[in-house]
């Protein structure tokens, strides 16, 4: 048997082994990985712990994902969702409020996950790359598109000095409130932030259809 034939056979065998995992079972593994990161942090995540929790052998995990880093990367890609995708209300102020609503409804679990991974990514370039690709870049692109549309409609100057800081302000508040205040940045909080900070700074009026829909929420 030639070397090429051996290589093809090995790849076929590996693919066959991987294919034994059903999508539901694979998703169970991903949820277990992300949940352990939320509860214990990235450094404490082990293949042994996931195997025990999901009642499988370590060899099953290692056949599918050779390293912890590959496992986490796959879980993040499967978990990734563009929460700002599809937002286009026709006005920049409406888009920002819709983004605040989507961000605040994401859940405390996502905040804990990002906090844990961000800390680990400071010392792991590969993890940082995956984190940006799956969680950060899609949100930055979506917010950037909102601002671009606002410029095209004449709502915002292209050279407005606050424009470069909108995404970092919105996402920073979302992910830091739990650390600073010990509370989730929920939808009412995020909407109040947009109304009190972003809209005035950008010189935007609140959408007419949103002015009468303000919830009292919790106090700041």
Provide the pLDDT for residue 143: 96
Q: Give the mean pLDDT of the chain.
A: 84
Highest average pLDDT, of 37-46, 56-65, 81-90, 158-167, comes from: 158-167
Closest CA to 103 of 89, 88, 82, 86: 82
Closest CA to 73 of 140, 137, 135: 135
Provide the pLDDT for residue 149: 98
pTM: 0.76
Provide the pLDDT for residue 168: 95
* Cβ neighbours around 138 below 10 Å, total: 17
Buried b (16+ CB within 10 A) or exposed e, 51-67: beebebeeebbeebbee
Whether the predicted pLDDT of 184 surpasses 90:
no
Full set of structural domains in the chain with CATH: 3-79 (1.10.357.10), 92-210 (no CATH)
Which residues are within 8 A (CB) of 31 and not within 5 positions of it... i.e. 6 or more apart?
A: 75
Which pLDDT tens digit goes with each residue over 197-211? 999 999 999 987 755
């Amino acid at each position: 048997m030639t070397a090429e034939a051996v290589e093809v056979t090995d790849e076929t065998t590996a693919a066959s082994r991987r294919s034994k995992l059903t999508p539901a079972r694979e998703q169970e593994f991903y949820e277990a990985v992300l949940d352990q990161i939320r509860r214990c942090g990235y450094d404490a995540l082990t293949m042994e712990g996931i195997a025990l929790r999901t009642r499988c052998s370590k060899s099953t995990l290692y056949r599918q994902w050779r390293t912890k880093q590959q496992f986490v990367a796959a879980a993040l890609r499967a978990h990734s969702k563009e929460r700002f995708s599809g937002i286009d209300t026709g006005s920049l102020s409406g888009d920002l409020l819709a983004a605040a609503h989507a961000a605040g409804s994401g859940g405390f679990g996502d905040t804990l996950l990002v906090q844990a991974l961000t800390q680990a990514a400071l010392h792991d370039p590969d993890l940082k790359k995956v984190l940006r690709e799956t969680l950060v870049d899609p949100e930055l692109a979506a917010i950037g598109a909102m601002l671009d549309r606002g410029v095209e409609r004449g709502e915002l100057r292209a050279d407005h000095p606050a424009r470069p800081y909108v995404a970092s302000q919105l996402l920073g508040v979302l992910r830091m409130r739990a650390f600073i205040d010990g509370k989730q940045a929920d939808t009412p909080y995020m909407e109040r932030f947009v109304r009190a900070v972003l809209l005035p700074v950008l010189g935007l009026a609140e959408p007419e259809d949103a002015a009468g829909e303000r919830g009292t929420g919790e106090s700041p």
